[in-house]
Structure 1
Amino acid sequence: MLKKIIKGSKKYSKSDSTVRDAGSRPPGSGNTVSDPNPNVVVNHASRPGQGATNTNSGSPAVPLPPPMTTVEPLPLLRDAPVSERQYLFLRKLQICCFQFDFNDVLKSAREKEIKRQTLLELVDFTQSGSSKTTEICQEEMIKMIGINIFRSLPPAFHENTGQVASDPEEEEHYLDPSWPHLQIVYELLLRYVVSSDTDTKVAKKYIDHSFVLKLLDLFDSEDIREREFLKTILHRIYGKFMVHRPFIRKAINNIFYRFIYETERYSGIGELLEILGSIINGFAVPMKEEHKLFLVRALIPLHKPKPIGVYHQQLSYCIIQFVEKDYKLADTVIRGLLKYWPLTNCQKEVLFLGELEEVLEATQCTELQRCMVPLFRQIARCLNSLHFQVAERVLFLWNNEHIVSLISLNRQVILPIIFEALERNTRSHWNQAVHGLTLNVRKMFMGMDPELFDECQREFAAKEARAQEVEEQREMTWKKLADAAAERG
């Protein structure tokens, strides 16, 4: 009995050992290493309080190693005894918390290489799953990742030089000099998130709302390589952590609002839309009202900003997903496109026409009837566009069999709206390709309903005669005024 009591006392003293504050980091020595955030304290309501032990499935708590002041190579994890690996893992995390100036390639070259090799080893160790990572090790690893990736992004080129912001498509791609190290840190985070050994209940304590929000802020990075990694990681987090899904959607929504109504500049809109494309694809039918509001309030207004060409392909995919899941949304989408239809930007107009064709392909006749009058008035304006690409693109709509069938069913309304535009093109459009395509469309309507076509032709001729009469009357009035002025003079 006495032996059992003594044994229980020893167990209690072992698990109750005090743990150093993980937020305390060593300052750099001399000019070699910068201070890796020694005063950062992250408070999480879901985490144990200070002094509590962090264990994982009954594993003994691993005491935090003393702070390191210099970057020195450590033994490899695979060579260390199993009982010492977690402690060595924590020491290696401390090395990776040191930060360096990557703008100067030669500065601290040895320390940078040690950190790089250590990061690579941590990635291999996490990926192999050779040893169960305790909860405190997971917490320290997420802290280390945060210290490295959560940073102030450099100002955009136009902000740094004071020049007027140019078209993002024409700007040179920025390459972050610290990317060789950042890439490995992102790889480590990705391996941790996708690992089958990662317990979601434990991991969500550290990959919390604050962490996700900071991750989303990094999508404004001008380095396309970083945005690609962020896209993959955020998509995996969304898939694995169901508790974060509403928060992630809302946070992306807020980024879109700020982009549309305030800045019109954000580097990662395309990547965020790619993530949303996968999310929308998984929406259950019938869709929730929340998702429909997201379409109306965020996705459709994304047609407004000038740099839409950068992300239009991803935006169009998201829009089509909504229409394919619920055909009743076609009227909402088409009216949204008409609301933001460009007036002076011909390249943007060509993009809209391409998207419109995809929407119409997924539209049913009843939904088209709700919006066909304003829609074909806009199409008529595009037919007479002096920019040949716009006129040509809108005429390509008649190459789509489904769209032609919709037009045929509603020809009594549609043909009178666009007949004048077709006639003007056949008579006076300067581009031969547009002229030829217009003649083909005109023949198509003639074959659909000869009587309607003849009626429209008569009305057009009568309208022209009236216009000619008004013009002659106007010229006669001006002639009388000129003659009266000559008599007085």
Structure 2
Amino acid sequence: MIKQILGKLPRKPSSKSSHNDTNNSNGVVSTYSSINSSEGPNSIGVGLNNPIGNSAPGKASAASRTKNGVSAPHSASMNKSNQGKKSAPVAPQVAPVLVSNVYEALPSFRDVPSLERQNLFIRKLNICCVVFDFTDPSKNLKEKDIKRQTLLELVDHISSITSKFNEVAMQEITRMVAANLFRTLPSNHENKLLETYDVEEEETMMEPAWPHLQIVYEFLLRFVASSETDAKLAKRYIDHSFVLRLLDLFESEDQREREYLKTILHRIYGKFMVHRPFIRKAINNIFYCFIFETEKHNGIAELLEILGSIINGFALPLKEEHKLFLVRALIPLHKSKSVSMYHQQLSYCITQFVEKDFKLADTVIRGLMKYWPITNSSKEVMFLGELEEVLEVTQAVEFQRCMVPLFRQIGRCLNSSHFQVAERALFMWNNDHIRNLITQNHKVIFPIIFPALERNTRSHWNQAVQSLTLNVRNIFLDDDQELFQECLIRFLEDEAKEREIQEKRESTWKLLEDVVASKAVSNEAMVVSRLFSSLAIATNTNPRATVGIV
């Protein structure tokens, strides 16, 4: 009777089961919850050296996050209840220090029967969901090494798999990848670019957790590229959210990470056709934000490199969507102060568009002139190089549409006091295709740039520029001597008129100074309107055209 009464009373929970996460005397946090006895012997204790022979295939556990931000195992019953449901990637957090006797290495794939390797694969993925703090190199050395070796085993294993990945494996793979890669990147700069900001001189930061991140990136790359990855099934886990978070990582200051991201995103674009429009739109949005808001992004060059391959594969005729992308995103990228960081990739993308559709040449050239630099000589040299690449694939009809404003700009470059700008403009005549276009339209082009050539031969301070200018001048002379003489006569006439205007202006000022000086001696007040009238009569101009001030 007494036993029956005592049996109905609530029992006090034991100290071992009352808390899943407890601190030991050294400040170490234990991260694994106890396994519910109701789950039976088939449940998997992640990271523990328990036997795996009783684990049934397909019931492997999945890592979850505890309230302290570290990985804890899902039971097989949880996987069963969630089967067929799409799970969101786990938000990554840095794990506290782990108890060394809990985080232990699992057996090698070679040491278990082939039937149990699937379960072991899942268990290894689960223990790799624990993220360590690399800001202190002295912490968790043993656990970090165990995780690194486990990641290397996973990379080798995923490369040798000969059967299709099932849904459970894909879910755990994306969970592990998300836990390690998707994180908040450190921000050590202002979002808005300062006037004195120099991107090239900024010291880049290296990712301290790269020993683990590199292997995770390699694992993800091999998973995406694997022929055993079914795109129709994998798109449930490598979805729009997953792609967006990958794109966010392009802000990383570590170039090694951006290189991996570039390769992986390109593989995803190639394998998952359903994601292609979304990826292009997402990259578009990154460019818009960079151009019109932040003016700072570390991954523009890598994104443009991906787009270069994408543009190369565009079907003809080009869709209106792609043309709008050129006009609204690619061309405005030229106005950034940090364009030198990605100009090579941008120039390649622009040239690809013109090669795909020659009618876009006029749009591109006018877009370049719209954002042409005025005070930045090094940027101007880059623009001239890109302009040459575009002109090299431009056809005669499109060239004729823009040649007048184009060679007015080139004429200004020829007279630049910066010798590299003038040289780069003169080097265009070394390109056979551009030279042929100029020769075909020399009657229009030569009168535009003749004054610039003549001024260079007379007064440019750099000897190399003078020599190159004489070569170009002789080319025009050989092509059309009659036109050359006409342009020379017109130039001399304009020069004489300009000299006459300058002399009149100087004489007017001298007369004004003399009149004012004579009145100042006698202390006589002077009406300004009468002064201007007398000056106008003295210089044979219309008095009514002068401005009278009383």
Band of TM-score, shorter chain? 0.7 to 0.9
Q: Deviations over 1:397-451 (max 9, x none)?
A: 1111111111111111111111111111111100000011111111111111111
1:287 counterpart SS class: coil
Matched, 1:201 2:236: no
1-side partners of 2:470 and 2:389: how far apart? 24
Question: In the alignment, what sits opposite 1:343?
Answer: 374
1:19, 1:53 within 8 Å by CA — same for their partners in 2? no
Residues 120/17 of structure 1: CA separation in 2 closer, same or farther (3 Å cut): closer
Amino acid at match of 1:452: L
Q: Deviations over 1:29-63 (max 9, x none)?
A: xxxxx624999xxxxxxxx99825359xxxxxxxx
Question: In the alignment, what sits opposite 2:171?
Answer: 139
Matched, 1:379 2:410: yes
2-side partners of 1:110 and 1:131: how far apart? 33
Which aligned pairs between 1:59-458 and structure 2 lie closer than 5 A?
70-130=102-162, 132-156=164-188, 158-159=189-190, 166-458=197-489
1:316, 1:355 within 8 Å by CA — same for their partners in 2? yes
| Structure with the larger helix share | 1
Amino acid at match of 2:385: G
1:219, 1:267 within 8 Å by CA — same for their partners in 2? yes
Q: Deviations over 1:219-245 (max 9, x none)?
A: 010000000000000010101110010
1:89 counterpart SS class: helix
| Structure 1 unaligned residues grouped into runs of 5+ | 1-15, 29-33, 40-47, 56-67
Q: Deviations over 1:321-364 (max 9, x none)?
A: 11111111100000000000001100000000000001111111
2-side partners of 1:37 and 1:268: how far apart? 34
2:64 counterpart SS class: coil
Residues 152/286 of structure 1: CA separation in 2 closer, same or farther (3 Å cut): same
2-side partners of 1:53 and 1:468: how far apart? 89
- Cα shift at 1:84: 1.9
Amino acid at match of 1:221: S
Question: In the alignment, what sits opposite 1:464?
Answer: 495
- Cα shift at 1:18: 11
- Cα shift at 1:164: 7.7
1:309, 1:348 within 8 Å by CA — same for their partners in 2? yes
Amino acid at match of 2:278: F
Structure with the greater alpha carbon radius of gyration: 2
1:27, 1:38 within 8 Å by CA — same for their partners in 2? no
Amino acid at match of 1:103: T
Matched, 1:24 2:64: yes
2:71, 2:127 within 8 Å by CA — same for their partners in 1? no
Amino acid at match of 1:97: C
1:198 counterpart SS class: coil
Residues 330/132 of structure 1: CA separation in 2 closer, same or farther (3 Å cut): closer
TM-score calculated relative to the size of structure 1: 0.87
2:61, 2:79 within 8 Å by CA — same for their partners in 1? no
Amino acid at match of 2:123: R
- Cα shift at 1:132: 4.7
2-side partners of 1:353 and 1:38: how far apart? 59
CA-atom RMSD in angstroms: 2.5
Residues 137/26 of structure 1: CA separation in 2 closer, same or farther (3 Å cut): farther
TM-score calculated relative to the size of structure 2: 0.77
1-side partners of 2:194 and 2:327: how far apart? 34
Matched, 1:480 2:480: no
- Cα shift at 1:24: 2.7
| Structure 2 unaligned residues grouped into runs of 5+ | 1-55, 86-97, 522-550
Amino acid at match of 1:24: S
1:24 counterpart SS class: strand
Spell out structure 1 runs of 4+ moving beyond 3 A.
Answer: 16-23, 25-28, 36-39, 52-55, 130-133, 162-166
2:426, 2:468 within 8 Å by CA — same for their partners in 1? yes
Residues 465/37 of structure 1: CA separation in 2 closer, same or farther (3 Å cut): farther
2-side partners of 1:481 and 1:370: how far apart? 49
2:58, 2:168 within 8 Å by CA — same for their partners in 1? no
Q: Deviations over 1:141-181 (max 9, x none)?
A: 1111001000001113x349x99873222223321110010
Matched, 1:35 2:70: yes
1-side partners of 2:72 and 2:333: how far apart? 38
1:86, 1:133 within 8 Å by CA — same for their partners in 2? no
Residues 50/298 of structure 1: CA separation in 2 closer, same or farther (3 Å cut): farther
2:338 counterpart SS class: helix
Q: Deviations over 1:195-229 (max 9, x none)?
A: 11111111111100100010001001000000000
Amino acid at match of 2:64: S
Residues 101/219 of structure 1: CA separation in 2 closer, same or farther (3 Å cut): same
1:231, 1:271 within 8 Å by CA — same for their partners in 2? yes
Question: In the alignment, what sits opposite 1:53?
Answer: 83
2-side partners of 1:443 and 1:328: how far apart? 32
2-side partners of 1:152 and 1:38: how far apart? 24
2:60, 2:122 within 8 Å by CA — same for their partners in 1? no
Q: Number of paired residues?
A: 447
Residues 127/232 of structure 1: CA separation in 2 closer, same or farther (3 Å cut): same
2:375 counterpart SS class: coil
Question: In the alignment, what sits opposite 1:64?
Answer: none
Amino acid at match of 1:448: D
